[in-house]
Amino acid sequence: MSKKFKKNESNDLNISEEEYMKKKEVLTSFFSDSTYVLMTFKQIANILGVKKNERIILEKILTDLEKDGVIYIDESKRYVPCSLKNILKCVYEAKSNKFGFARSLDGKDVYISNDLSMGAMDQDVILVKIISEKKDGKNAEGQVIKILDRKTKNVIGRFNKSRNFGFVEPIDKRISDIYIPKKYSSNFKDDQMVNVEILKYATSNSKAEGKIIEIIGDLKEENIEIKAMYSAYKVEENQIFNDLVVNEVKSINTEIEKEEYKKRVDKTNERVFTIDGDDAKDLDDAVSVKKIDENTYLLSVFIADVSYYVKDGTQLDNEAVCRGTSTYIPGTVIPMLPKELSNGICSLNQGEDRLTLAIDIRIDKNGEVLESEIYKAVIRVTKRMTYDKVYKVLTLEDMDTLNEYKEYEQDLFLMKELALILNKKRMEKGSINFDIPETKVVLDEQGQVVNIKPYENTIANKIIEEFMLVANMQVAEKFYYLDLPFIYRVHERPDEERLRELNEVLSNYHKRIKGIKNVHPKTLADILESIDDEEEKQIVSNYMLRTLKLARYSEECLGHFGLSAKFYCHFTSPIRRYPDLFIHRIISDYIDSGYILDEDKIKKYSKQAKKYAKISSDMEKEATQVEREFDELYKVIYMEKSINEEFNAIVSSVTDFGMFVRLDNTVEGLVPFDSMPNNDYYIFDEKKRCLIGRGTKETFKVGDRLKVKLIRCDVKTKQIDFSVLDREVVDGKEKSSKKK
């Protein structure tokens, strides 16, 4: 099969893919040779004896090698091997319009200031030259020398018009304003939400330039900010799957074939339960618990066998890889898989036969795992339960619910018993219990935000959490010792410098981390457990979480610091996370192959594991960013109606421009210096992490309780501002700091 490469419409050449790759390998070796000296295109063509009619192929290969990060062109038009100049191929992650980080394939993070970014935008593929190595806990610093692939083509934002030109303020605050020339701006009105096509990208010295191609709406329209966010993140567009995927889904048999029953353990007559939120539609885990004897429990965890329906290399699988995860936005979801699968044949719906991957785990009364077995099963869920109703049963709260669940009451109390044993064992090993409430945004039928509150996490939630954790650990441990390709969920040890900073915060509570150089997670867990006040514990949890590194996916088993676990993976949510789906495929193949994978499959899965771990980590970050942006927007919209109202708050962090406070409903906002009490000038003590009034000597630190007034909600910046009215009663004495 031949492949056609095009230089332009009038210059086409045919060359087989095999021949092209051979030439590319020769050139790669040419640049990696220690005797290579910097050359121009013409010099390379001459020294390699490339004929004039073949130079179009040479040019194409050189362009590909640039994109691959093997070489780059310097100011003198010479080709420079990246290996010679400490240059990395990276993906740019913008943190604001002032700085970002370049992240290399090997996980190295390089700080990039805006003036050295060449106008790089989030997710651009770039070449970075290291100008300062990592030192004293600070990231290496770098300079972008080439942008290999631009990922942002369009930007959604607010149009601002002047007489001779206009500019657009992007909704995404990581992107700087975009200049709109007069010829592209004269027909549009001030304050319209618009879609801009980028014509010229920003450089270190100039703004990006674009033209408006679509009007999203006017600021006077109701919910225009939400509408604009939907457009910016292509929510509605990404909820739709392309025709190739749709056609594949239509061809999937939604009836389980008789032969498949014979290949699996039949659990259709077992008592099996799902426990999820009231509005959950993609039910991918089910559980059952039995007591074998006085000292032994049998926990069975059944996970939807999505890999049976999503085959390797299909359009459906390719799309799932690209999406990486489902993204949950208030009132809707951007799914990883089409709803025909996620809500249909793969969802463990009550009373319907479903294919699963299962694990039986025998656990003693002390929480020790005695043995476990992974197998394929067919189940039929006995009862679809909800967290709310399970909680009511376990607390004997509601007679209607008690009557509805009467038949399953013993099952639930046995689940609770085992979950508490597992939790106790996990805490003893040093797993850190971060007590940070998640935000629940409540919308009405018209999509209007009617409440913001902490997501309720009861014993019902904790039952499922403990069961999924032990299942994930067992699966990871088994496949680690089998030495097969796999994707693990890893969480590495925190940096010493970050732990020292955390110690400054902990000193406010008379706590301290000892043994920073080789800290054990139990040290941090014990500190949290020693804090009695729940609000203070939440604040310290938040700081501690910021200190730790982000969990990610890896083909290497590096352990999970936060869980104090040597082995951990994500096995239990294949409907909404690709790593789970991928390891299901390996597990299933391993079982079907008679517990032996041949070398070809091992090579294939090894290559895929590395690739998919990186993609899934990146897509998880992107999904988290989108979810956070929507939550912040809904919070500002919700709080707008409460301007000038008073609230109880707790100081969540302090900075050199003010302090952040958090309300009981999880809403967080800034108290800027000009809204601090007594019209005093406040100094930020970086070492002690507190603010000190220059005149009054009054101190504000993390954990202080305050009475605040809401003074500003800016939907444009998603910023909420408060002023301090007073301190609340502390230790029986009211510390007054009323603003004069």
Q: Residue 23 sits in a domain of what CATH number?
A: 1.10.10.10
Give per-residue pLDDT as tens, 242-295: 999 999 999 999 899 999 999 999 999 999 999 999 988 899 999 999 999 999
For position 136, what pLDDT does the model report?
64
**Partners of 89 in beta bridges:** 127
Which carries the bigger pLDDT value, residue 200 or residue 10? 200
Answer whether residue 740 shows pLDDT above 80: no
Query: Do 52 and 179 sit in the same domain of this protein?
Result: no
Is 500 among the domain residues? yes
Residues 580 and 502 in one domain: no
Q: pLDDT value at position 186? A: 80
Which pLDDT score, from 0 to 100, does residue 107 have? 67
pLDDT of res. 16: 84
What is the distance between the alpha carbons of residues 379 and 357, in angstroms, rounded to a whole number?
A: 10
Residue in the block written with tokens 């018209």: 446
Angstrom distance (rounded) from CA 58 to CA 51: 10
In total, the chain counts a number of residues equal to 740
94 and 61 co-located in one domain: no
In-domain check, residue 739: no
The answer as to whether 637 is a domain residue is no
H/E run at residue 497: helix 496-506
If asked whether residues 133 and 211 sit together in one domain, one would say: no
Q: What is the pLDDT of residue 137?
A: 61
Distance separating alpha carbons of residues 563 and 577, to the nearest angstrom = 20
**What is the domain-level CATH number for residue 121?**
2.40.50.140
How many structural domains does the chain have?
Answer: 6
Burial 489-520 (b: 16+ CB within 10 A, else e): bbbbebbeeebebbbbbbebbebebeebeebe
* Predicted confidence (pLDDT) at residue 573 exceeds the cutoff of 90: yes
Res. 618: pLDDT tops 50: yes
Do 42 and 22 fall into the same domain? Answer: yes
77 and 90 share one domain: no
State the residue range of the domain holding 188. Answer: 154-232
Q: Tokens at residue 572, please?
A: 């239990």
Give mean pLDDT, residues 414-429: 97
Return d(Cα 512, Cα 524) in angstroms, integer.
Answer: 9
Is 740 domain-assigned?
no
Q: What contacts 24+ positions apart, CB below 8 Å, involve 39-42? A: 39/78, 39/79, 40/76, 40/77, 40/78, 40/79, 41/77, 41/79
Mean pLDDT of the chain: 90
Sign of the dihedral through C-alpha 177, 178, 182, 188: negative
Kindly state the average pLDDT of the residues 333-346: 96
What is residue 492's three-state secondary structure? coil
Taking the CA atoms of residue 676, residue 682, residue 683 and residue 688 in that order, the dihedral angle to the nearest 10 degrees is: -50
Tell me the mean pLDDT in the region 570-580.
98
Residues 109 and 76 in one domain: no
Name which of 607, 603, 586 is nearest 595 in CA terms: 586
375 DSSP β-pair partners: 358
Shared domain for 101 and 32, answered yes or no, is no
Q: Are residues 347 and 255 in the same domain?
A: yes
554 within a domain of the structure (yes/no): no
Query: Domain for residue 237, yes or no?
Result: no
Give the Cα separation of 582 and 489 in Å (integer): 13
459, part of any domain: yes
pLDDT, tens digit, 9 for 90 and up, residues 139-188: 789 999 888 889 899 999 999 988 788 999 998 888 889 999 988 888 88
Asked if the model's pLDDT at residue 469 lies above 90, the reply is: yes
Q: Which of 189, 210, 232 is the last residue of a domain?
A: 232
Among the residue ranges 492-501, 547-556, 728-737, the one predicted with the least confidence is 728-737
266 token code pair? 């039949």
Q: Are residues 141 and 158 in the same domain?
A: no
User: Do residues 358 and 398 share a domain?
Assistant: yes
**Is pLDDT of 628 > 50?**
yes
Q: Are residues 353 and 399 in the same domain?
A: yes
pLDDT digits (tens, 9 = 90+) for 65-100: 988 888 888 888 999 888 776 788 888 988 887 889
Q: Does residue 635 fall inside a structural domain? A: no
- Show the beta-strand stretches assigned E in 305-399: 327-329, 332-334, 353-364, 369-380, 383-386
